[in-house]
Structure 1
Amino acid sequence: MTDLERKLYQIIYNMSRFRKNPSIEDLKRKTGQDELTIRKAVKNLISQKELEWNKEKQEWRFK
Structure 2
Amino acid sequence: MSDLERKLYRIIYNMSRFRRNPSIDELKRKTGKDEKSIRKAVRNLMTRNELAWDKEKKEWRFK
User: Which bin holds the TM-score, normalised by the shorter protein?
Assistant: over 0.9
- RMSD (Å), alpha carbons: 0.2
Task: Mark the runs of 5 or more structure 1 residues left unpaired by the alignment.
Answer: none
Q: Which residue of 2 aligns with 1:60?
A: 60
Task: Mark the runs of 5 or more structure 2 residues left unpaired by the alignment.
Answer: none
Q: Which structure 1 residue ranges, 4+ long, deviate > 6 Å from structure 2? A: none
Q: Which residue of 2 aligns with 1:6?
A: 6
> For the residues of structure 2 that align with 1:10 and 1:17, how far apart are their CA atoms?
11
Q: Which residue of 1 aligns with 2:26?
A: 26
After superposition, the C-alpha distances for 1:6-55 in whole angstroms (9 at most, x for unaligned) are 00000000000000000000000000000000000000000010000000
Confirm or deny that 1:39 pairs with 2:39: yes
* SS class of match (1:44): helix
- Identity, % of aligned positions: 75
Alignment size in residue pairs: 63
* SS class of match (1:52): strand
